[in-house]
Amino acid sequence: MEQKSIIIAGAGIAGLSAGCYGQMNGYRTQIFERHDKPGGLCTSWKRKGYTIDGCLHWLVGSGPGANFHRIWEELGAVQGRPMIDHEEFLRVEGKGGKVFIVYSDIDRLEQHMKELAPQDAQVIEELTRAARTCAKYDLPVDKAPELYGALDGTWLLIRMLPFLKVMSRWKKISVQEYATRFGDPFLREALPRVSGLPDFPMAGLLMILAWMDRKSAGYPLGGSLEFSRSIERRYLDLGGTIHYRVPVAQVMVERDKAVGVRLADGTEHRSDITISAADGHATIFDMLGGRYINRRIRGYYDNLPIFPPLIHVALGVHRSFEKMPATVIYSLDEPVTIGGREQDHFGVEIGNFDPTLAPPGKTVLKVMFTADYAYWKNLWQDPERYQAEKESIADHVVSLLEQRYPGLAGQVEMRDVATPMTWERYTGNWQGSMEGWLISKKTLPPFRMSRTLPGLQSFYLAGQWVEPGGGVPPAAMSGRNVMQIICKRDHRPFVTKTP
Ligand SMILES: Cc1cc2nc3c(=O)[nH]c(=O)nc-3n(C[C@H](O)[C@H](O)[C@H](O)COP(=O)(O)OP(=O)(O)OC[C@H]3O[C@@H](n4cnc5c(N)ncnc54)[C@H](O)[C@@H]3O)c2cc1C
C-alpha cells in the first residue's frame, strides 16, 4: 500500500499521540517542535537539585479499569509506571480553621460533609448520589465522535442513559450557584474553591469526584516530563522522527490543499497530510494567515472563555512535610494583591508524595494563582520590572507560607516563578493559557469543535484547542481521533498496537 507522509506541528501530548497512531497505521510521519523537548505543557524542569512539575496533578485513565487506560498503554505511557491515588483530592481550610476534606472515596466524603453540616444532609446526599452514578460509567474513547453512526449513538444512549441524564441536569448549574444551596456558610465558601474557576459546571466537578472514587485519576510517579518522554520513546520506537528547535512558521497551501510546512528558518518540508497539534490561534491566524475560517470559528476566539494563565511559584524546601496532604487551599483573612490581582485564598501543593522530585528530607511546594495576561505582557516589555515582580511574588508566597508553616522561610533553598509569559514563550499557547478552552456550561458536550478548517483540504487540528476542557487525556485522544478520521478517509482500517 502507498505510504502517505504526514507532518505534525508540535510534540505536545496531542502531536506525539497523532504521530504514534500515524506510525501504527502505516503512515510516514515526522514532528516539528519549536522547543528542545517533548510534552509541551505536560512538562517539568530542574532547579538546584529539585524537579518542578509543571503539569500533572491527576491523570484520567491512570487505573487499569478505566477505558482511557488502554490509550495510555497503546502510547507506552503507563507500563511500569506506579500511580499514586491520593486519599484526599484536596482540602480547603476556612478562615476560622474549619477544614473541608474532599476525600477521593465518595462514601467518606459524604460522611465528612454531613459531619461538617448536618443541616445540609439532603443537598449532600443529592450531590454524592449524582457522583456515584457518574462513577458507574466510563466515557467511551474507542471511536472518534465524527465517525459515530446512528447505531453508535443509539447504543451509547441506551448504555449510558443514567449518566447522560445526570450530565444534562448538572451541566446547567455552576459550582458557585450550587454552593448557595448549602445552609452551612463554610461549605458555601469552600465548595467553589475546589474547582477554583468561574462558571465551572457541577457536571465537571461530579466527573472529578467519580474519577477519584474509581482510582482513575492518579498521579504518575516521576512527573510530567518523564510521562511525556515515555510517549516520545514510543513514537521513536514506532519509527517516527522528531525535529526539535524548529518552529513552524507557515502551513504551505496550494490550491486550498495543505502541502507541508515552512519553518522559521525558511526551509520547506512537504507532506501529503498536515496536522497542527500546536496552539490553535497561532495555527489559524498566523500559520494560515486567517484565510480558512468562518464565523463560527471566529466566534470561538471572540467569545469563548479560556483557562486563565497562571503564576506558578515553586519552592524547594529543606523540610519533609510528613503526613501532609497533597493539596491544601487556605482562605486569607485579608486579601492580598499578587501580580496585579486581588487574591482571597491560595492553594499549596506539597510534592512529597513523589520522592523523585526532591532529595530525601526535602520537598517541592507549589503555589499557583490565576493571572492577568495583559498585565504580564506589559510587564514583559521591561525586563527589570518583570524580574522584580517575580521576586516580589516569591517573597510574598514565602511569607504567606511562613504563617502556616513556621520556620519555612529559613528552609527555602530554591525559588522559581513562572508567569503567563513563561508558558507563552515555551509552548506558544494563546495568552499563556494553561489548558485551552475553559470547561463551562457552553462548552460541555454535545458542543464539539471541528478538527478541520473550512475550505482547506488535507489539514487537521489536534490538541486542547479543539477539545474544550483540555487536559492531557483529551489531548492524547484528539491525536488518536484525528488519525482515525484520516484512516477512514483513506479507506484503511484503524489499527492500534500495545507494546
Ligand atoms: C500548571 C498546569 C497544570 C496542569 N495540570 C493538568 C493535570 O493535572 N491533568 C491534566 O490532564 N492536564 C493538566 N494540564 C493541562 C495539560 O497540560 C494540557 O491540556 C495538555 O498537555 C495540552 O496538550 P496539547 O498537546 O494539546 O498542547 P501543548 O502541550 O500546548 O502542545 C503543543 C506543542 O506545540 C509546540 N508548538 C507550538 N507552536 C509551535 C510551532 N509554531 N512550531 C512547532 N511547534 C510548536 C509547543 O512547543 C508544544 O510542544 C495542566 C496544565 C498546566 C499548565
Pairing assessment for the beta strands 241-243 and 28-32 based on DSSP bridges: parallel
Distance CA 271, CA 105 (A): 49
Ligand 1 pocket mutation, candidates 41, 211, 421, 424, criterion most atoms within 8 A of CB: 41
Q: Is 279 in the pocket of ligand 1 (CB under 6 A)?
A: yes
Does 130 lie in the same domain as 152? yes
Does 263 lie in the same domain as 187? no
Ligand 1 pocket mutation, candidates 36, 472, 477, 482, criterion most atoms within 8 A of CB: 472
Does 72 lie in the same domain as 9? yes
Q: From the CA of 39, how far away is ligand 1's center (Å)?
A: 7
Q: From the CA of 376, how far away is ligand 1's center (Å)?
A: 20
Domain for residue 215, yes or no?
Answer: no
Q: How many residues does the chain have?
A: 499
Order of strands across the sheet with 248-254?
248-254, 257-263, 268-270
Does 236 lie in the same domain as 148? no
Does 271 lie in the same domain as 127? no
147 vs 65, more confident: 147
Report which ligand 1 atom has the smallest distance to the Cα of 478: 26
Residue 446 has pLDDT above 80, yes or no: no
Does 187 lie in the same domain as 124? yes
Does 256 lie in the same domain as 330? no
Domain for residue 61, yes or no?
Answer: no
Q: What are the tens digits of pLDDT across the range 463-489?
A: 999 999 999 999 999 999 999 999 999
Does 180 lie in the same domain as 250? no
Q: Is 240 in the pocket of ligand 1 (CB under 6 A)?
A: no
Of 206, 232, 257, which marks where a domain is finished?
206
Does 397 lie in the same domain as 447? no
Q: From the CA of 300, how far away is ligand 1's center (Å)?
A: 19
Domain for residue 198, yes or no?
Answer: yes
Q: Is 314 in the pocket of ligand 1 (CB under 6 A)?
A: no
Q: From the CA of 208, how far away is ligand 1's center (Å)?
A: 20
Domain containing 234: what range? 5-38+68-79+221-305+438-489
Q: Is 113 in the pocket of ligand 1 (CB under 6 A)?
A: no
Of 206, 232, 249, which marks where a domain is finished?
206
* Residue 461 belongs to domain with CATH number: 3.50.50.60
- Which pTM value belongs to this model? 0.97
pLDDT for 444: 82
Domain for residue 429, yes or no?
Answer: no
Is the omega angle on the peptide bond into residue 468 within 30 degrees of 0, that is, cis?
no
Q: From the CA of 35, how far away is ligand 1's center (Å)?
A: 12
Does 195 lie in the same domain as 112? yes
Report which ligand 1 atom has the smallest distance to the Cα of 32: 43
Does 340 lie in the same domain as 288? no
Of 154, 177, 206, which marks where a domain is finished?
206
Q: What are the tens digits of pLDDT across the range 226-276?
A: 999 999 999 999 999 999 999 999 999 999 999 999 999 999 999 999 999
Domain for residue 325, yes or no?
Answer: yes
Residue 50 has pLDDT above 80, yes or no: yes
Q: From the CA of 465, how far away is ligand 1's center (Å)?
A: 10
Lowest mean pLDDT across 157-161, 186-190, 251-255? 157-161
Q: Is 41 in the pocket of ligand 1 (CB under 6 A)?
A: yes
Q: From the CA of 87, how far away is ligand 1's center (Å)?
A: 27
Q: From the CA of 220, how far away is ligand 1's center (Å)?
A: 17
- How many domains does one find in the chain? 3
Domain for residue 96, yes or no?
Answer: no
Encoded amino acid at 498, one letter? T
Domain for residue 332, yes or no?
Answer: yes
Number of other residues whose CB lies within 10 A of the CB of residue 107: 11
Three cell numbers written together for 101: 476534606
- Given the C-alpha cell 493559557, which residue does it identify? 433
pLDDT for 9: 98
Report which ligand 1 atom has the smallest distance to the Cα of 475: 26
Domain for residue 432, yes or no?
Answer: no
Does 182 lie in the same domain as 247? no
